[in-house]
Amino acid sequence: MIKTYLTLLLLATSATCQKKSATLVSAEGEAPAIKVIKTTGSLLTAIDVSKADLDWEQVTSQQDENKSNREIPKVISEEYLAEKVEQPPSPEAEAEFQRGMAYIERGKGHGREGRVAAHRVFERAAAQGHQEARKAVAFSQMFGDYSRWSIQEAKTVFEDLEKNGSPDAQLALGFMHGAGIGVEKSNQAKALVYYMFSALGGNPLAQMAMGFRYSHGVGVPQNCETALSYYQKVAKTVVDNVKFTTGQTIQRLRLTDETDPTIHMQPGSAPLESNLLEYYKMLADKGDTSAQLGLGQIYLAGGRGLNQNFELAFRYLLAAAESGSADALTYLGKMYLDGTPFTPKDYQKSFEYLMKSADKSSPSAQAVLGAMYMKGKGVKKNYEKALKLLTLSADKKNADGQMYLAELHYKGVPTNKGVHRDFKKSVKLYQLASQNGHILAYYNLAQMHAAGTGVPRSCSHAVDLFKSVAERGKWGERLMEAHSAYKDNRVDEAAMKYLFMAELGYEVAQTNLAYILDRGEATSLFSGPKDNNMERAFLNWQRSANQEYAAARVKLGDYYYYGLGTEVDHSLAFSNYKMAVDRHGVAQAMFNLGYMHEVGEGITRDLYLAKRFYDQAIEHSQDAYMPSKLALAKLAFVFYLEELNKLPLISFMEKTVGPRWDAILMTVSALVPLFLFWRHRQNDN
C-alpha cells in the first residue's frame, strides 16, 4: 500500500492559485477537426514523429554553445539589477565574488549552509569595494539571515548605493521607510518615492510594491490601470524565465493553517520529515520505481523542505527511466530541453527521451513534443504534428497540452484557407490549464483580459491574473525561507522576511506576519509597546482580508470586537463576520453572528436570527457542533424567559410593583425561609 501511493505522497505542490473564470466569445469559423487516431502500432508512427524531424543546425549549434564557457552571473539573484560602477572591481574582488556565487548556484542543493558560506566570501569581496558583494551583504544584514543582523549598517550601504541611482538600494530604502524599520517612524511619502524610482529603474519587486499600492489604494488613490501596468511588467519578467520543468516550486504555507484544526492543509505541502525521507531513499536504492520517481520529482522542483538538487534528481529519474517509467523519461527529456549543470541543453537527447515517453502514451511528453513542433525548438516547425500531439495531450487533461493547444489556437492554425484563429477554444483551454496551476495560462489569460481579445476587457480580472504570475517569481523563495526560519525558532528573521514580502502584496506574508505579531513573538524586531505591534497586526490582517483570505476576515472582526489595534466597533465587527459568512461560509463567523444577534451587539437583537446562525454553524463544521449546541440550549432558556415575560401576571406585577418586581420577589422568597427557621429555633428554646 505504501509503495502504491508513494509518488503521490512525495509530489511537491506549487503555490496555490485562485481559479479564474472568463466570459467566452465565439470566433469566426470552425477549427479543423482532429480525427481520433486508432492504431495497433506505434502512436508516433501514426503521427509520423521521428528523428528525421530534428533541426540539426540547432542541435549542433547548441552542442557548440555547451562547449564554450558559461556566462558568469553578475548578480546574486534574478530580481536584482547589476550596479553601475565607474571602475570595474579588482580581479581579486571579482574572484572572491564568483567564488561566493558558486556556493549559491541554483540546483546544487547547497541550502542554508551554502548561503552562509557564500556571504562570508561576499563580505571579503565587499571589503575590497565590490559593489554587488556590498549589496548582497547589506540585504543579508537587513534580513538577518546569512550575515550578522545590522539594519543600520545595511541602511548606510543602501544610502551609498542609492547615490549612484541603484534601483535595488531604492527598493530597500522604500521598504525601510514604508515598514518603519531602521528609521524613527514610517513615512509612506518617502517610501512611495523610493519605490517609484526603483520601479522605473526596472526592479520587479518595486514594481510589485507599486502595483499592490495602486490596486488596493495603499498610500495612493486606487487606480486599476496603473496597477495593471506595473503587474504586467513583473509578470513578463517571470514568464521570460519560465522553464519546462526545472523551475523552483514556490510553496505558500500559512502559519494559521498549521495551527487551526478546522483548516485542512493541502496534501503534499508540509515539509518532509527526515526519517521519512531516509525511508524513501532506502526504497529507491532497492530499486522501487515509485520512490525513485517521487524523489526525482521533489529534488527537481524543490519544496517539502528540500533544496533543488539537479544531480540527485537526474540520478533518481535515470534509475526510474531504466525501469521503464514513462514519467521519468518525460522529466529527463525536459531537463535536457531546459539545460542544467548536470544535463546540458541537448535537443537530440531531449527529443529521444520524449519520444520514448510519448510512445508510452504519456500526455506530458506529447505536450512537450507538440510545443517543440509548434515553436520549432530543436525540430523543424510542423503545425500539423503539433496540433495532433497537443490535442492528444489536452484530451487527457494535461495542463501543458491544454496551455500550448490554447496558444496554437490563439496564434492561428495554418489551413488550406489560411491561418485560422479560434479565440473561443483558446480561452476555454487557457482556463482549464490555469485551473491546474499553469503559470503561462494565467499570463496569457491576463493578456487577453487586459486587451479585451476574445473576452470582454476587465482591468480587475487582468490585475488579479498578472499578480498571480508575478508572485510566482524566484523571489517567492523568501516565503519558504521565512517558514523554515520560523520552524527553527529564528522568529525575528522570519518576521523580517514576511514583513518585506507583505509590502510587496503577498497575502500569505501579510497573514503570517499578523499571526506572529498577534502571538507577541519577534520581540527583538518589534520591541516597541504592545499596542504598536497590535496596530501593525491589525493592518496586516486587514490587507490579507482584502485579498479574500477567510481566516483574516474573521480575525479582523475579532480585532474590531475586542478593540485590538483599533477602537472597539461592534458594527464593523459584525460587518466583517457577515462578509466571512457570505463570501467564504466560515462556521466561526456564523457562531459569532449568532451571539451578536442574541445579545444585540452591533445589530438589533433578534433571537430567531441568532438561532439560524447557530444552526448554520453546525451544518458547516463538525467542530462547531458542541459550542453551537450549548449556545442553542442557552438560547432556548432565553426564549422560555421571553415567553414568561409575555404572561398577563407578569404585566400586572410590573404595573403594580414596578419593573424590579422580580428582584423584590426573589428577596422575599429568600427572607421567608430564614424567618421561619428563626421562629422554629425560638420555639425550641
What pLDDT does 673 receive?
81
Distance CA 211, CA 527 (A): 30
Res 109: pLDDT: 57
Summarize the confidence of residues 77-82 as an average pLDDT: 87
**In the chain, what is the straight-line distance between the N-terminal and C-terminal CA atoms, in Å?**
86
Regarding whether 582 and 507 lie in a shared domain, the answer is no
Q: What is the CATH number of the domain that holds 532?
A: 1.25.40
Taking residues 37-52, report their average pLDDT: 65
Average pLDDT over residues 186-194: 93
For residues 590 and 616, state if they share a domain: yes
> Pairing mode, if any, of strands 413-415 and 418-420?
antiparallel
Whether residues 573 and 619 share a domain: the answer is yes
Check whether residue 549 and residue 583 sit in a common domain: no
Residue whose cell numbers read 529603474: 201
| pLDDT computed for residue 17 by the predictor | 35
At residue 31 the predicted structure's pLDDT band, cuts being 50, 70 and 90, is: very low
pLDDT for residue 645: 65
Residue where the block lists cell 538577518: 144
The per-residue pLDDT for 249 is: 64
More confident residue, 149 or 662: 149
Residue 348 lies in a domain: no
Confidence (pLDDT) at 468:
94
CA distance 589 to 189: 37
Residue closest to 140 by CA, chosen among 162, 160, 123: 123
Range in 34-38, 49-53, 370-374, 459-463 with the lowest mean pLDDT: 34-38
Condensed to tens digits (0 to 9), the pLDDT of residues 615-648 reads 999 999 888 999 999 999 988 888 777 766 666 7
Question: What is the distance between the alpha carbons of residues 224 and 212, in angstroms, rounded to a whole number?
Answer: 10
20 versus 287: which is more confidently predicted?
287
166-179: pLDDT as tens digits: 999 999 999 999 99
Higher pLDDT, 162 or 308: 162
Q: Report in angstroms the alpha-carbon separations of 257 from 265, 316, 384, 511, 551.
A: 6, 32, 47, 10, 9
Sign of CA pseudo-dihedral 641, 646, 651, 652: negative
Give pLDDT tens digits for 302-322: 777 677 888 889 999 999 999
The domain containing residue 619 runs over which residues? 569-646
Domain endpoint, select from 517, 543, 568:
568
DSSP structural state of residue 472 = T
| Candidate from 127-136, 260-269, 378-387, 539-548 with smallest mean pLDDT | 260-269
Same domain, 561 and 588: no
The pLDDT assigned to 140 comes to 94
Q: How confident is the model at residue 108 (pLDDT cuts 50, 70, 90)?
A: low
Report CA torsion sign: 679, 681, 684, 685: negative
Grade residue 368 by pLDDT with cuts at 50, 70 and 90.
Answer: very high
| Cα(433)–Cα(375) distance, integer angstroms | 19
Contact 379, 44 (CB under 8 A): no
478 or 67: which leads in pLDDT: 478
Is 423 contained in some domain? no
For residues 483 and 522, membership in a common domain is answered with: yes
pLDDT value at residue 665: 67
Average pLDDT for 214-234: 95
Greatest distance between any 2 Cα atoms in the chain: 124
**Is residue 552 located within the same domain as residue 529?**
yes
606 shares a domain with 592 = yes
pLDDT, greater one: 490 or 675: 490
Q: Is it the case that residue 126 has pLDDT exceeding 90?
A: yes
**Is 256 a member of any domain?**
no
Place of cell 509518488: 7
- Which pLDDT score is estimated for 261? 54
**What percent of the chain lies above the pLDDT cut of 90?**
54
> What is the pLDDT, as a whole number, of residue 247?
58
Q: Residue 264 domain-assigned?
A: no
Question: 180: alpha, beta or left, given left = phi > 0 and alpha = psi -120 to 50?
Answer: left
Residue 68 resides in a domain: no
The three grid cell numbers given for residue 499, joined into one nine-digit string: 514583513
Helix axis angle for 607-620 and 625-645, nearest 10°, is 160
CATH number at residue 623: 1.25.40.10
Residue 563 inside a domain? The answer is yes
The answer on 530 and 577 residing in a single domain is no
Out of 96-105, 296-305, 370-379, 598-607, which region has the weakest mean confidence (pLDDT)? 296-305
Domain endpoint, select from 505, 539, 568: 568
Same domain for 586 and 661? no
Split at pLDDT 50, 70, 90, the class of 269 is low
Please list the helix, strand and coil fractions of the chain in percent, rounded to the nearest 5, in that order. 65, 0, 35
Tens-place pLDDT, residues 430-445: 999 999 889 999 999 9
The pLDDT score that the predictor gives to residue 640 is: 78
**Does 488 map to a domain?**
yes
Evaluate if residue 26 carries a pLDDT over 50. Answer: no
Whether 514 is covered by a domain: the verdict is yes
> What is residue 582's DSSP assignment?
I
Our count of domains for the chain comes to: 3
Give dist(CA 581, CA 591) in Å, integer: 10
Average pLDDT in the 134-148 region?
Answer: 92
Q: Are residues 554 and 585 in the same domain?
A: no
Does residue 544 sit in the same domain as residue 597?
A: no
